[in-house]
Amino acid sequence: MSDPAVVYVAPSRAGGFWFLLLGLLLGVLLGGFGARYWFQGEATRQFNTMKSMLQNELVEARAELAASQAHIDALTGNLMVEEGTRKGLETTLQSTQAELGQAREHLAFFEQLFPPGKQGAVSIRGLEAKRQGAKLQYRAIFMRNANNAPKFEGVLQFVVEGQADGKPLTVTLENRPQLEFDAFQRSTGILNLPEGFEPDKLTLNVLEGKAVRASHTVDVAPAE
């Protein structure tokens, strides 16, 4: 008995071609999808990196801007303080200069009212006396023709007329302030009175040694 015959059928060349083409297409598609996801991931990472860098730079820029603004505010405040201080000093200086000018004008006016005395002569140009409790307050103005004359050096003597125990009494006070000046001098002070003494008049003598160089008498004003 003979073996059955084996028939071998060779694959068609056309069918193999289509399988190969399908495989290539599938490879291309899979590669495209893979490349797409890879590029998307890489682009996202780069975007996030750049975003982080820009955010950091923005924070630093804002910090520098805030520091600069604070510095500007401080400088502006200092300038305002310095400007206010300068204006205050200028106002004070102008006021002082005006007062000094008025004082000089008053002095020149008073000098014209009184005839000049002999060289170096002392005069009492004003005297006020006022009760202040058990004491006496005085104010005096002295002037002198001091052209080429040495400084005057003397003392003040106060003589008070009044009453004590209902009787008239004249008292030379112990207060003797020094008086030294060239042309113009003011003097103010408080004089001690004897206990129970009621003053009516005050006489001010300017002494040089034992010599009386000037004398002036005024009524004592009552206390306010």
DSSP state letters, 21-80: HHHHHHHHHHHHHHHHHHHHHHHHHHHHHHHHHHHHHHHHHHHHHHHHHHHHHHHHHHHH
Instruction: Look up the CATH number of the domain holding residue 128.
Output: 2.60.40.10
Residues 108, 191, single domain; the answer is no
Structure tokens at 144: 């002198």
Is the model's pLDDT at 211 over the cut of 80?
yes
Q: Domain range holding 181?
A: 122-219
Q: Is the pLDDT of residue 7 over 50?
A: no
Q: Is the pLDDT of residue 3 over 70?
A: no
Percent of residues, the chain, with pLDDT higher than 90:
35
Give how many domains the chain has, as a whole number. Answer: 2
Query: Which of 113, 137, 157 is the endpoint of a domain?
Result: 113
Query: Residue 52 domain-assigned?
Result: yes
Q: Which run of H or of E encompasses 171?
A: strand 167-172
| Domain endpoint, select from 84, 113, 142 | 113
Same domain, 128 and 206: yes
Q: What is the pLDDT of residues 138-197, one digit of tens each?
A: 999 998 876 677 889 999 999 999 999 989 999 999 999 999 998 889 999 999 999 999
In a domain, 3, yes or no: no
For the question of whether the overall pTM of this predicted structure is more than 0.85, the answer is: no
Distance (Å, rounded) from C-alpha 204 to C-alpha 131? Answer: 16
Which of 113, 139, 164 is where one domain is finished?
A: 113
pLDDT recorded at residue 31 = 65
Q: Is the dihedral of CA 211, 216, 221, 224 positive or negative?
A: negative
Tokens of 84: 């206010």
The residue-averaged pLDDT of 38-67 equals: 69
The pLDDT of residue 15: 59
Alpha carbon distance 170, 205 (integer Å): 14
Helix (H) or strand (E) holding 130: strand 122-132
Between 79 and 176, the more confident residue is 176
In a domain? residue 205: yes
Does residue 188 sit within a domain? yes
Residue 7 lies in a domain: no
